[in-house]
Amino acid sequence: MTERVVLAYSGGLDTSVAIPYLAEQTGAEVIAVAIDVGQGGEDMNAIRQRALDCGAVESEVVDGREEFAADFCLPALRANALYMDRYPLVSALSRPLIVRHLVAAAKKYGGTIVSHGCTGKGNDQVRFEVGIGALAPDLKVLAPARDFAWTRDKAIAYAEEKGLPIDVTHKSPYSIDQNLWGRAVETGFLEDIWNAPIEDVYSYTANPAEPRDPDEVVITFEAGVPVAIDGETVTPYQAILELNRRAGAQGVGRLDMVEDRLVGIKSREVYEAPGAIALIVAHQELENVTVERDVARFKKGVDQRWAELVYDGLWFSPLKRALDAFIDDTQQHVTGEVRLTLHGGRAVVTGRRSDASLYDFGMATYDTGDTFDQSLAKGFVQLWGLPSRLATARDTRLGGAQQ
C-alpha cells in the first residue's frame, strides 16, 4: 500500500510546492490539511482547491475558530499568559490545535508521515514535532524547508518548472503569522533592531497617536471566562473578535520586542494582539479582586511557567496538564465585571465589581464606618518583624556586617 503524507497546508508558496516535492521524494500520496484559526485573508475553499491542483490526493479544510478560542485562547487568558511578561503567545497557541488535526487526519486517511513547512531556525518546528510525538509517536515527520535545505529561490524555480497554480511573483517584505489571538510580524527591515516599525507593518490595530474618542467597554466573566460584553452574551470566540475590533480601533495591543527563541537565538518581533491584551488586562484585575493573596502570588509564577511551556512547544506535557489543574481551581470565584477605557493604545481599568469580591469596604475605608480593629496592628507588627530583629541582634553580637 502506498504511504501517505499529511501536510500542514497554508496555501502559500512553500507548502504548495511541498505537495509535489514530497510526493517525488517519498513516493507517498499527499493529504493537505488547512486549519482556519481566524487568520482571515483567503477563502478557505480556494485554499482547498489549490492543494488539489498542486497534486494532493485529498484536501481537507477545518474551521477551527471556535475550537481555537475555547480550547487554546481561553486557557491562555485564564493563565494571563504573557511570554517574557509581554507577548500573548500568538503563534504558539495555534500550533497544538493544528497538531491535533494533523494527527486526526493521519488516522482518518491512513497517513504514516506528517509534514510541515517550518525552517530549522524557528520555534514552530519544535511545537509541531514535540506535539506530534506526544499524541502519535509512531508518525514520522518531514520538514522540507529544514530537511532538504529548501530555500525560497528553489521553491519559486520548482513552482515555475511544474507550472503550479500559485503566485510566485509577489513577496511581502515581512514574514507574517496571524490568527484570532493576534498577529506576528518579522524579517525585512525589522531585522535591524534599531529600525522603528512603520505603519504598514500593522493590520489589526489603528495608529494610537491619531486623535479619536475613547471607547468604554464592560466585560463580564464567569469562572475566568468572558461571557458578556456590555451586557450582550458572547462565546469566547465572539468576545475575542469583538475586542479585536474595538481595542484594535484604539491602537491597543502593539508590541515591539526582542525575544528569546527556544532554539537559543534572539529574534525581533512586532506583534498586534488587541483583543488578547484587553482581555488579559481585565482578567488580571478581576483576579486582584477575587483571588486570595497567597494564591494570587503563587499563581503569578504558575502563569509565567505556563507561558514558557506553551511557547516552548510543551502544550501536551505532564507539567502543563498539572498547571492547568491548578489554574482551573483558582478560577472558581473569578466572576464579575470589569470596566475598561480603550484609548491611545492602552486598555485602562476604571471599575470592577463582583459578588465574589474579597474587597471589604468596611475594612478598607479610612472614614466613618471603618470596621478594622487597629488595636491588633501593634502586636502584629512586632511579631512580623521579630525574625529580622533576632537576626540583627545576632549579627551585632558576632561582629557581622551591618545593613
- What's the 3-state SS for 157-221? HHHHHHCCCCCCCCCCCCEEEEECCEEEEECHHHHCCCCCCCHHHCCCCCCCCCCCCCEEEEEEE
294 annotated ligand-binding residue: no
Considering the domain architecture, whether residues 275 and 194 belong to the same structural domain is answered as yes
State residue 370's pLDDT score: 84
Q: Residue 320: which of 299, 298, 303, 296 has the closest Cα?
A: 303
Banded pLDDT at 203 (limits 50, 70, 90): very high
203 is catalytic: no
State residue 326's pLDDT score: 98
| CATH number where 238 lies | 3.90.1260.10
State residue 401's pLDDT score: 62
Considering the domain architecture, whether residues 96 and 217 belong to the same structural domain is answered as no
209 annotated ligand-binding residue: no
State residue 228's pLDDT score: 98
Q: Which amino acid is at 345?
A: G
> Which stretch of 49-53, 66-70, 185-189 has the lowest confidence by average pLDDT?
185-189
175 annotated ligand-binding residue: yes
Strands 215-222, 225-229: pairing kind = antiparallel
124 annotated ligand-binding residue: yes
Q: Which amino acid is at 90?
A: V
Residue holding cell 537559543?
Answer: 264
Which candidate in 124, 177, 303, 312 is catalytic?
Answer: 124
State residue 155's pLDDT score: 81
State residue 272's pLDDT score: 97
Banded pLDDT at 402 (limits 50, 70, 90): low
Considering the domain architecture, whether residues 199 and 347 belong to the same structural domain is answered as yes
Q: How many domains does the chain contain in total?
A: 2
> Which stretch of 24-33, 141-150, 344-353, 369-378 has the lowest confidence by average pLDDT?
141-150
Query: Which domain does 221 fall in, by range?
Result: 176-291+333-353
Banded pLDDT at 142 (limits 50, 70, 90): very high
Which candidate in 167, 175, 245, 370 is catalytic?
Answer: 175
Considering the domain architecture, whether residues 52 and 140 belong to the same structural domain is answered as yes
Considering the domain architecture, whether residues 206 and 77 belong to the same structural domain is answered as no
389 annotated ligand-binding residue: no
Considering the domain architecture, whether residues 248 and 100 belong to the same structural domain is answered as no
3-state secondary structure of 246: helix
Q: How do residues 77-106 score in pLDDT, each as one tens digit?
A: 999 999 999 999 999 999 999 999 999 999
Considering the domain architecture, whether residues 200 and 113 belong to the same structural domain is answered as no
State residue 275's pLDDT score: 98
Q: How do residues 216-257 score in pLDDT, each as one tens digit?
A: 999 999 999 999 999 999 999 999 999 999 999 999 999 999
Percentage of the residues of the chain whose pLDDT score is greater than 70: 97
> Which stretch of 9-23, 55-69, 140-154 has the lowest confidence by average pLDDT?
140-154
State residue 286's pLDDT score: 98
256 is catalytic: no
**If residue 154 lies in a helix (H) or strand (E), which one and from where to where?**
helix 152-162
45 within some domain: yes
271 annotated ligand-binding residue: yes
CA-to-CA separations, 387 to 293, 391, 392, 396, 397, in angstroms, rounded: 22, 6, 9, 14, 15
390 within some domain: no
162 within some domain: yes
State residue 1's pLDDT score: 66
97 annotated ligand-binding residue: no
| CATH number where 139 lies | 3.40.50.620
pLDDT of residue 108 exceeding 60, the answer is yes
Banded pLDDT at 187 (limits 50, 70, 90): confident
Considering the domain architecture, whether residues 274 and 156 belong to the same structural domain is answered as no
Banded pLDDT at 168 (limits 50, 70, 90): low
Overall average pLDDT of the 156-185 stretch: 82
State residue 71's pLDDT score: 98
For residue 106, the Cα-to-chain-centroid distance in whole angstroms is: 26
Please say whether the beta carbons of 340 and 281 come within 8 A. yes
Overall average pLDDT of the 15-31 stretch: 91
Considering the domain architecture, whether residues 155 and 206 belong to the same structural domain is answered as no
Please say whether the beta carbons of 1 and 27 come within 8 A. no
Considering the domain architecture, whether residues 32 and 165 belong to the same structural domain is answered as yes
Which candidate in 14, 36, 177, 303 is catalytic?
Answer: 14
Which candidate in 95, 246, 254, 352 is catalytic?
Answer: 95
State residue 323's pLDDT score: 98
172 is catalytic: no
For the question of whether the overall pTM of this predicted structure is more than 0.85, the answer is yes
Overall average pLDDT of the 131-151 stretch: 89
Q: Is the dihedral of CA 296, 364, 339, 229 positive or negative?
A: positive
3-state secondary structure of 265: coil
227 within some domain: yes
Banded pLDDT at 171 (limits 50, 70, 90): low
146 is catalytic: no
